Structure 1
């Protein structure tokens, strides 16, 4: 363990110890510390909604036997750091982005084939623990990391590009733009294939990077762009719907196994309900004044045409697939093919098959 990692772990542990010293409102038998990167307001972010719903349901259903302490806004560190804290048993659970998960489980990158998901209904069916693919994916992640997957859902919707230079209407408009990405090799390959310069940065640094010009733009779902106030530092919003990435809700595997069967049932049920609450909040933000109308009041908004989307797909899909094959090998290809097969099943069930 490096000195910097040790200091970060000690800092998180010290904060948790200070909070624990105060004590919960009742003498709980079990305490779940749940961390996430986003605002605590349940009407502002999907992870905020999930955490608030989970806390209410678990504490009520357990009759106070389980206390849930929520640490929003990245209080305990960056995504990948908090996941390590969960794996080490310092923190019991985290709701994390694919960027953070990728540093512990690289196969999360299989979700990043551009334009693989035709709409949010298909995404909801595939990116879920009830789907055959979701169960396969979660089991493999659990074996690799020693965690328990409590939830799998989208990060807030389909991604759009923002930037401070010009509207993005064609692939040519991407040329030379420095686009912040998560620390996902698949996202970096995608941006590079479109002629832009990928600039991987942790979430905590994105606003300042856009403000100071370290990055010209970034890509995220509408709800994330809205609660992050990127309209304050970006002029153009281009709706491409080019990719949709997952959020993973992880719990320390040993902690979960040590819960009583009754407490496991409460945690599982509350997490399932909370994931649905998170999905709902994302859709409400997208459709309300908190979402696109808020951004449109400060930004120039354009939607990329289906014809141009096809050109984006033609440029980016081969690059991402090649990276998955090269970096993740047979396991990555098998996971990717399982996901694509589940997408086709969902398309057929929804009457969307070609």
Structure 2
């Protein structure tokens, strides 16, 4: 049995399709039974991989995925670029199988498999379920503009220096960030630019601390929902919109449902290029250098292109009929003061005073 056969056991969670040795079984039952099945199949795949014939010396096959982003999304293209560059630099010795959103499961379960080593590499929003100090990635109103964000999240930035040890403690190797831009609040029917106007409006939030708490402090009713369920939730009225994503995701995936995008900029949206630490350690120094060089190429490209990409989608959203709204300086300042006063102390209880002292010393000064 080859490694490719083992990959056949992996489950496509978004489409309800089970890939089993290259055969497709449609309409697999969803829900808790599906989750148990996915977990079992991942474990079976790992066991079979141990029994499978080894590759020739120096050859490797790795799994790269993300919880969000289809083949044509910026994240999807970045994964393909990373995999392609690894293949070229290694002259084909290292092969990377790329799986897009929903193909290997939902947001939390996919991260679970990553930490366990059943997935080798991800471009992902890290979950706080393993180490709540990961909340430092999502502290609201930390950076206030593109120049500040790029400096803070760059290779030698203070935020990068802050998060690297936390990833290491989780058993993850950190290559660097994949910045997208500033998040906002996208809604249908009505919008809000103040705490008072937001009362009674329900918006989806990523189920990651402290994003729901942030949206709640802004006056909205935060409803934590997994990415794969957002469209249906908006369509059926479970929520009135989405929050904390850059405009690309809201216009491209939910554009037919949403009318407004308020550029609250309460979070700087950043994925991260990561690898399971054991998978990385299993490579020799030459191959580790190849993966790192390829990752740095993807990161550098994204840093230079992120703002232009975000601006492009702001224009595209307006072209498609979504109203783009920038809150007044007074309204934004009111949100900043309220969120920092309510949410930052909650974060300190989780990450500790030392980390929050560093945040307070380096965070942007509101203008």
The two structures have a TM-score, normalised by structure 1, of 0.84
Q: Give deviations 1:155-207, integer Å, cap 9, x for gaps.
A: x2101111123132332211111111011231222222222211000111111
Per mean C-alpha deviation after superposition, the further-off stretch among 301-310 and 271-280 is 271-280
- List, as ranges, runs of 4+ consecutive aligned residues in structure 1 with deviation greater than 6 Å: 14-19
Query: How far apart are the structure 1 equivalents of 2:314 and 2:90?
Result: 39
Of 208, 211, 215, the residue aligned with 1:187 is 211
Q: 2:337 aligns with which of 314, 326, 330?
A: 314
Q: Find 2:67's aligned residue among 30, 34, 37.
A: 37
Unaligned runs of 5+ in 2: 1-31
Q: What CA distance in whole angstroms lies between the structure 1 residues aligned with 2:302 and 2:104? A: 21
Report the equivalent of 1:60: 88
| Cα deviation digits, residues 75-106 of structure 1 (max 9, x gap) | 111232222212222111111114xx222232
Question: Residues of 1 paired with 2:278 and 2:46: CA distance?
Answer: 19
Q: Name the CA distance, whole Å, in 2 between partners of 1:284 and 1:14.
A: 44
Structure 1 pair 76–15 and aligned structure 2 pair: CA distance change class (3 A): farther
Paired residues of 2:263 and 2:324 also in contact (CA < 8 A):
yes
Counterpart CA distance in 2 for 1:56 and 1:120 is: 29
Q: Is 2:346 aligned against 1:337?
A: no
Given that 1:238 and 1:302 are in contact with CA atoms closer than 8 Å, whether structure 2 keeps it comes out as yes
Secondary structure of 2:352's partner?
Answer: helix
Conserved? CA contact 1:112–1:320, under 8 Å = no
How far did 1:69 drift? 0.8
Q: 1:96 aligns with which of 110, 115, 124?
A: 124
State the secondary structure of the residue aligned to 1:151: strand
Equivalent of 2:265 in 229, 237, 241: 241
Summarize deviations over 1:200-259 as a string: whole Å, max 9, x none. Answer: 00111111101111011111111222332x221112221221221432222111111111
1:79 & 1:159 partners in 2: Cα distance?
19
Question: Superposition pairs for residues 11-22 of structure 1, below 5 Å?
Answer: 11-12=41-42
Structure 1 residues 259 and 7, CA gap change in structure 2 (3 angstroms) = same
Q: List aligned pairs for 1:296-311, cutoff 5 A.
A: 296=318, 297-311=320-334
Distance 2:324 2:33 in 1: 46
1:108 Cα shift?
Answer: 2.2
1:292 aligns with 2:317: no
Residue 37 (structure 2) aligns with: 7
Q: Distance in 2 between matches of 1:298 and 1:338?
A: 42
Tell me, in whole angstroms, the C-alpha distance in 1 between the residues paired with 2:106 and 2:317.
Answer: 26
Does residue 159 of the first structure (1) align with residue 187 of the second (2)? no
Point out the more displaced range, 181-190 or 212-221: 181-190
**Correspondent of 1:268 among 286, 292, 308:** 292
1:343 shift after superposition: 4.2
Q: Report which of the two has the higher share of helix.
A: 1
Alignment-derived partner of residue 350 in structure 1: none
Instruction: Indicate if the aligned counterparts of 1:80 and 1:104 stay in contact, CA closer than 8 A.
Output: no
State the secondary structure of the residue aligned to 1:130.
coil
Compute the displacement of 1:141 (Å): 2.1
1:37–1:16 CA distance, 2 compared to 1 (3 A): farther
Q: Which has the higher contact order (CA 8 A, sep 6+)?
A: 1
Q: CA RMSD in A?
A: 2.8
TM-score using structure 2 length: 0.81
Q: Relative to 1, partners in 2 of residues 1:280 and 1:212: Cα closer, same or farther, differing over 3 Å?
A: farther
Please state whether the residue corresponding to 1:124 is helix, strand or coil.
Answer: helix
Q: 1: distance between equivalents of 2:132 and 2:154? A: 19
Secondary structure at the aligned position of 1:115 is classed as coil
| Structure 2 equivalent of residue 225 of structure 1 | 250
